[in-house]
């Protein structure tokens, strides 16, 4: 495993399989900086889609696939995205017998990198249309609200509730955050599925827009959104999903919830795709 973070650095590219390209990032340090307890008050997973996977079959003919990698959020580490891209690129001139061999290799290396069990599924072109359809989030979009906004640094104090107990799903396509290393913008859709005291839609929109100048990795931003809504609005149940647009051929989609999952549901080795992995138009 790589000892140096390649993000923002000029690095050499391996032409054949090289698991040393992978770089692990500690989860807990970012959680501590955000005031999130250990263990954290949520469960969930990070769903990564890799659109630029290719290797050679046993006769030297290229094969292409799209990969889904599911990381439980309780792994000690996450994998740095540029290092994953470099790692996957190194498959390009490497020969494998069958697709299951490739999936097993990726699963082994990613699990070792993050120190947990990672679920890996590879989708071949014949299944692209059925497995990778574009969806629209369920629920009500709050982006049409006519509101004045002047806060672009995260402010949980913007969140507010209204009278009434509801069960609803709200979403916004207006999330922008920034990479803490390169300072490049990251774009995403946030889906808030909750039951409890009604969240003011205007306040939720203003709060999500307040991330516009915020720097943080996708996972950290999603956990902060979950924690702020949970603390300020006190819903009985809450699930926050953030679906970010792709960068470097990879999109990252964290899911955080206060509902404890069934044992083995995040990374059980099943070849089927994650039911929460519903690709959006910008992905």
Active site residues per annotation: 179, 186
What are the C-alpha distances in Å from 161 to residues 40, 125, 229, 231, 278? 24, 46, 10, 12, 29
Spell out the alpha helix ranges (H) of the chain: 27-33, 81-89, 99-114, 128-131, 201-209, 218-233
Return the closest-CA partner of residue 197 out of 240, 242, 167. 167
Relative to beta strand 250-257, strand 237-244 is antiparallel
Contact between 19 and 90 under an 8 Å Cβ cutoff? The reply is: no
The residues with which 170 forms a beta bridge, in sequence order, are 140, 192
The residues with which 209 forms a beta bridge, in sequence order, are none
Contact between 93 and 61 under an 8 Å Cβ cutoff? The reply is: no
**Which stretch of DSSP H or E encloses residue 248?**
none
Contact between 121 and 150 under an 8 Å Cβ cutoff? The reply is: no
244: its two tokens:
């970010």
3-class SS at 125?
A: helix
Relative to beta strand 237-244, strand 185-199 is antiparallel
């Amino acid at each position: 495993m790589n000892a140096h973070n390649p993000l923002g650095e000029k690095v050499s590219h391996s032409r054949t399989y090289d698991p040393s390209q992978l770089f692990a990032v500690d989860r807990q340090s970012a959680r501590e900086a955000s005031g999130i307890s250990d263990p954290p008050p949520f469960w969930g997973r990070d769903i990564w889609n890799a659109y630029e996977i290719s290797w050679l079959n046993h006769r030297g003919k290229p094969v292409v696939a799209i990969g889904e990698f599911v990381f439980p959020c309780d792994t000690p580490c996450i994998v740095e995205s540029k290092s994953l891209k470099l790692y996957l690129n190194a498959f390009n001139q490497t020969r494998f017998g069958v697709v299951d061999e490739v999936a097993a290799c990726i699963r082994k290396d990613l699990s070792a990198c993050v120190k947990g069990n990672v679920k890996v599924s590879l989708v071949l072109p014949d299944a692209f249309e059925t497995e990778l359809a574009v969806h629209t989030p369920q629920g009500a979009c709050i982006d049409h609200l006519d509101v004045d906004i002047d806060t672009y640094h995260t402010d949980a104090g913007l969140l507010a509730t209204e009278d009434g107990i509801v069960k609803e799903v709200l979403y916004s396509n207006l999330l922008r955050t920034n990479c803490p290393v390169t300072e490049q913008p990251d774009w995403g859709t946030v889906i808030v599925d909750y039951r409890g005291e009604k969240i003011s839609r205007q306040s939720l929109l203003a709060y999500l827009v307040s991330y516009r100048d915020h720097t943080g990795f996708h996972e950290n931003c999603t956990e902060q959104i979950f924690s702020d809504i949970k603390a300020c609005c006190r819903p009985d149940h809450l699930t926050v999903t953030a679906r970010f647009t792709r960068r470097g051929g990879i999109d990252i989609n964290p899911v955080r919830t206060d509902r404890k999952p069934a044992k083995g549901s995040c990374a059980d080795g099943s070849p089927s795709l994650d039911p929460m992995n519903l690709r959006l138009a910008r992905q």
